[in-house]
Structure 1
Amino acid sequence: MSAVLKPHDDLEITARTEGQDRVLTPEAQSFLLGLHCRFDGQRQMRLKARAARQARFDAGALPDFRTDTADIRASDWRVAPIPAALADRRVEITGPVDPKMVINALNSGAQCYMADFEDSTSPTWANVIEGQLAMQGAVVGTLEFTAPALNGKPGKHYALKPEAERAVLIVRPRGWHLDEKHVLVDGERMSASLFDLGLFAFHNAKTLAAKDRGPYFYLPKLQSMEEAALWNAVMDHIETELGLPNGQMKATVLIETLPAAFEMDEILHALKSRIVGLNCGRWDYIFSYIKTLRAHRDRVLPERGQVTMTQPFLKAYSELLIKTCHRRGAHAMGGMAAQIPISVDSQANEQALARVRADKLREVTAGHDGTWVAHPALIPLAREIFDSHMPQANQQAVSRDDVDVTAADLLKPSRGTVTAKGFEGNVEVCVRYLAAWLDGNGCVPIHWLMEDAATAEIARAQLWQWLHFDADPEREGRQPLHLDDGTPMDFALLERALIGLPSRLAAEGDFPGKTRVPEAIQLLVELTRSDTLAEFLTLPAYERID
């Protein structure tokens, strides 16, 4: 259903869904219009700078530390003091913004909940508005949800615990590269980043500030200090408009792009009046490594299951993040455990939990101040490990002066192989996740892992890179890449992997996005056959959702 609301001649909302009038009031629309007019031009400049830098990498250049910011890295300075509510972040849970998830996450016992408008939310208009409404209910403590009745029995009712027992709310807006197509200014789409963060702040910032609970944000997919400085300017402006003290809004930045790993000090400096930490967004970081170095045959990664945090380039990245953050008085947050309980196989479940345990032990002994989980069942395990090795609120006293990371360390090629099972697994994850995403579900359990856009992006980008080194085998004497058994990784291999997939999936019964599988396959074929690696799979997929 489509309609147009126009409190201003140059702002249009081109869709309708339940509850949107409570979110997009005329005053809120005026606020969003002001953000767009003030900052979207700068956003477009930053996106062009991204493209220009990627063109240099495609031509053979490699990322490196900036010479023009050497003074920032060398000088002594620290970020602003961290609020008491964020002093202890040993276990954080993340997930989408539907009401049931919001309630369960806030009640989960984790220190913080990252409400994710980005990688784990399919941004249908209904989902985006429902998420904003859920945020408003969560902030004032009135959010409730009743599941639909099943087999004649009433659905389960969900309600929030008292505020003192709830996790601290941190909101992740969509990244700078994404648009909100349902909101137009002079016929142009509004930035999804400005829409998500701006609308949340407009409705909730004063309430949260009065409780000394923020507002707090996670900022995704930054690639440079200039992009961080743009976020800082946006928050400065919002604080002025809403009458909040400067620095009231706090941010944690996800270091989930390869270029950003070379600018950690600079990103902290650009946000130093409001930043509280950096996070090892490992899955997006692996995706970014592939994407950034897509033209560099000597940097091709093995299959995803072999790209663990013990790979030298990932170990260097996490240790540099710890050292950088602690030198500057910021938290160094660990990465996501994507495992979910395997209820049908106790032995497999124990093996999965052992992997989580080893990963969290690695993080806490390296000096991380906290970690992420995707499922509430992993919270006790993660907390036990951090409690045992981090009895204090955080580990900022761990300076990691033993760490000396070079550009070569951050770029070091990885050991490993690609098996037939690994190739076919990438194909299946892409199809399953795209089908679910197109159907409105951005967080999908697949083979006992919680997959979101970041993990699907690894699979999709790997397929493109593996296949496209065979696109012109005569050029520069290049030959196709091969599986570990010698099979060429070419489009014939992709076709064989896809042929039997629909029938195999159909035999599994219901699963998220089942009716969208043919469309997902079509989109994957288009993405993998394209001469250029699409920047994000969500960009073409977004055009296919309401």
Structure 2
Amino acid sequence: MCQALRAVELELPPQELKEEFDILLNAQSLLFMAELVSTFEEEVEQILNQRIARKVHLNLTGELPKFSEDTAHIHSDKSWRVHPVPKRLQRRHVDIGDLAPCDTERFKQGLSSPAQGIQVDFDDGNCPTYYNQIKGLCNVYKVVHNQFADVPPISQAPLLMLRPRAWNMVEHNMMVNGKEVPGPLFDFGLLMFHNGQLLFQNDSGPFFYLSKIECYKEARLWNKIFLWTEEKLGLPFGCIKATVLIENILATFEMEEILYEMREHSAGLNCGIWDYSASFVNKFGHRPAFLLPDRSKYVNMEKRFLKSYMDLLVQTCHRRGALATGGMAAQLLPPQGKDSALYRRVLATVTRLKLLEIRAGVDGFMVYDLDLIEPMQRLFQMHTSGENQLLEIRDDLSVTPADLVTMPAGGVTLYGLKYNISVGILFIEAWLTGRGHFFYQGQVEDSATAEISRSQVWQWIRHRARLEDDERVVTRALVKSLAQEVGTETLLTAVHMFLEVVQKSQFPEFLTTYLNLDHTFLSSQNTRPQLETTDRLKHKL
């Protein structure tokens, strides 16, 4: 034990979090973390290297993804199914999305809401400062151990769908064997060590969302981690359940394999359209044939490539007995009230988009605004029957590789260019001040929308796209002038960083990786963020 603990190095937290730090990082949990990381760190590195190799192969060959012949036996075997999920997972029509648990006020509001689940987000909607991670992890601990007096007990509260960071993120404040710890292992390990038993005993988990998986081998690694953890903590085989977010074009061609690898632990698959759209630029953006048009005007779930992606996800899940969940409604209902024209217009927009997902066969989706929970639950009840839509097999569909990689028609608008520049800059500014999301033009923006925004600007510069408005070419000079219009003196650092990212010759794989390794962010690791809740925002509007 002493030898294992000597392999662990920890930065001390801010003084105000000493109690939380002592709860989370005691001798027993550190021993568990040392064993977890030592067991799997090499495989995590292999996964990241395989991603690089696969990208290089695609670049050198000019190939496009396809359904693999090597795994044809998985597709052809019609008999296998994922293991059934616990009763409480079977009916989750509306979850709350992007809820960073370091925001104690919003976390408590979500726990007292009528939502059926909460995406407890250490990833897209969260900025992983040391303060945010320790505060968020301890808030989950307090919820599970019923230490919040003014929220329901864990057995009655909405399910906690715990979302650790993705493989590309590292935890700067813990080292094992002389190396920084993979971010997802830091989050997952502490969440499981402190909460796994109680969640299971209360029929409330442990349940997870897994972000940014690119292939079935990454799902296989997570499954190994689950099995190891269940054995180490004395939990029943298969009690951990995870929903894999399909937010990468390469993963779309391996959805059946991903379910197969995780069949004992699968809670299904999820659609995330903005990370998914950004992945096209990530993998193929240097190719002119993959010029993605203005997302504000031409990219939505009614277009062939996104509709095919959702249709295939639902069909794949339901064939194998797995739940299929849709994306998150980012819109915020305005404070003017239900009688205002703006309120009715926003609600009608959300209703139309979510009805598309319901009709596609999803078993649930997410909203950010808590005031949207009940209207969307009623929408589900009006258009479906029963706990889910697992019986909607969709055998009428036949989705081809061409369907999945056909870019929508359309061009670039000045509005869309300005919007993407604004979102990219404001996200970087939010990140540098310890926030993983922010509010802009009536909706929440997070790393997913920042990824698609900066991806499109990079690609439009790269291919010298023309504006529909006035035939101007999107150049570095034009982007720089528009960025300076967005940036005040307080945003200068964010403007400079945004311009650096969109001007790079080689596309940076993840914006969050770039930011997480930047010295400006590292110097503010212990900073307490100034969180802006939707309630406070609505009072300002």
TM over 0.5: yes
Superposed CA deviations along residues 137-195 of structure 1, whole A, max 9, x for unmatched, are: 11122226xxxxxxxxxxxxxx2135454211110000111110111123211011111
Given residue 16 of structure 1, which amino acid in structure 2 is its aligned partner? P
Q: Deviations over 1:354-384 (max 9, x none)?
A: 1110111111112111111111011122111
1:313 match: 305
Q: Contact (CA 8 Å) 2:65, 2:250: kept in 1 or not?
A: yes
Q: Is the 2:159–2:205 contact (alpha carbons within 8 Å) kept by the matching residues of 1?
A: no
Q: How far is 1:405 from its partner?
A: 0.5
Quote the offset at 1:319 in angstroms.
0.3
- C-alpha deviations, 1:186-241, integer Å up to 9, x for none? 32110111110111000000111111211000111001110000000001011111
Match of 1:295, SS state, is coil
Match of 1:90 among 90, 93, 102: 93
Partner of residue 275, structure 1: 266
Residue 239 of structure 2 contacts residue 265 of structure 2 at CA under 8 Å; is this kept in 1? Answer: yes
Extract unaligned runs of 5+ from structure 2. Answer: 526-541
- From 456, 480, 493, the equivalent of 1:495 is 480
1:453 to 401, 425, 447: 447
Q: Give distance in 2, aligned partners of 1:293 and 1:27.
A: 46
The residue matched to 1:182 in structure 2 has which SS? strand
Q: What is the CA distance between 1:287 and its match in structure 2?
A: 1.4
Q: 1-side partners of 2:278 and 2:341: how far apart?
A: 31
Cα displacement (A) at 1:63 = 1.2
Does the Cα contact within 8 Å between 2:144 and 2:154 map onto a contact in 1?
no
| Runs of at least 5 residues in structure 1 that lack an aligned partner in the other structure | 145-158, 470-479, 507-514
Which amino acid in the other structure matches residue 459 of structure 2?
Q
1:7, distance to aligned residue in structure 2 (A)? 7.5
Aligned equivalent of 2:169: 178
- Which of 188-197 and 54-63 deviates more? 54-63
**How many angstroms does 1:286 deviate by?**
1.3
State the distance in 2 between where 1:532 and 1:487 align.
Answer: 24
**Alpha-carbon distance in 1 for matches of 2:12, 2:441:** 36
1:205 matched to which residue of 2?
A: 196
Q: Which amino acid in structure 2 is aligned with residue 86 of structure 1? A: L
For residues 87 and 320 of structure 1, the distance between their equivalents in structure 2, rounded to whole angstroms, comes to: 21
- Residue 118 of structure 2 aligns to a residue whose secondary structure is strand
**2:465 maps to what in 1?**
481
Alignment RMSD (CA, Å): 1.6
Q: Is the CA contact 1:7–1:26 (under 8 Å) kept in the aligned structure 2?
A: no
Cα deviation 1:447-484 (Å, max 9, x = unaligned): 11111101111001111111122xxxxxxxxxx22111
Q: Within 5 Å, give how 1:225-374 maps onto structure 2.
A: 225-305=216-296, 306-343=298-335, 346-374=340-368
What does 1:371-386 align with in structure 2 at a 5 Å threshold? 371-386=365-380
Corresponding residue for residue 475 of structure 1: none
Give me the whole-angstrom Cα distance separating, in 1, the residues matched to 2:94 and 2:329.
11
* Equivalent in the alignment of 1:12: 9
The answer to whether structure 1 residue 112 and structure 2 residue 117 are counterparts is yes
What is aligned with 1:416?
Answer: 410
Percentage of pairs with the same residue: 36
**Counterpart AA for 1:498:** A
1:53 is matched with 54
- Partner SS for 1:500: helix
1:253 is paired with a residue whose SS is strand
Contact 1:113 1:168 in 2 (8 A): yes
Residue among 391, 415, 425 paired with 2:385: 391
One-letter amino acid matched to 1:32: M
Deviation at 1:6, TM superposition (A): 10
Matched residues in 1 for 2:486 and 2:357: separation?
37
Is 1:107–1:165's contact at 8 Å kept on the other side of the alignment? no
- Find the aligned partners of 2:293 and 2:3 in 1 and give their Cα distance: 51
Residues 1:12 and 1:96: Cα distance change in structure 2 (over 3 Å) = same
Paired amino acid for 1:370:
G
1:15–1:125 contact (8 Å) kept in structure 2? no
Map of 1:39-78 to 2, 5 A cutoff?
A: 39-59=40-60, 60-76=62-78, 77-78=80-81
Give the match for residue 79 of structure 1.
Answer: 82
Determine the C-alpha separation between the residues in 2 that align with 1:34 and 1:7: 7
SS at structure 2 position matched to 1:8 = helix
Quote the Cα distance in structure 2 between the aligned partners of 1:372 and 1:62. Answer: 31
1:6–1:12 Cα contact (<8 Å) kept: no
Give the drift of 1:73.
1.1
After superposition, residues 497-516 of structure 1 pair within 5 angstroms as: 497-503=482-488, 515=490
- The answer on whether the counterparts of 2:154 and 2:202 sit within 8 Å (CA) in structure 1 is no
User: Once the two structures are superposed, what CA deviation does each residue of 1:50-100 show, in whole Å capped at 9, x if it has no partner?
Assistant: 111112222322111111001101112100011101010111112111222
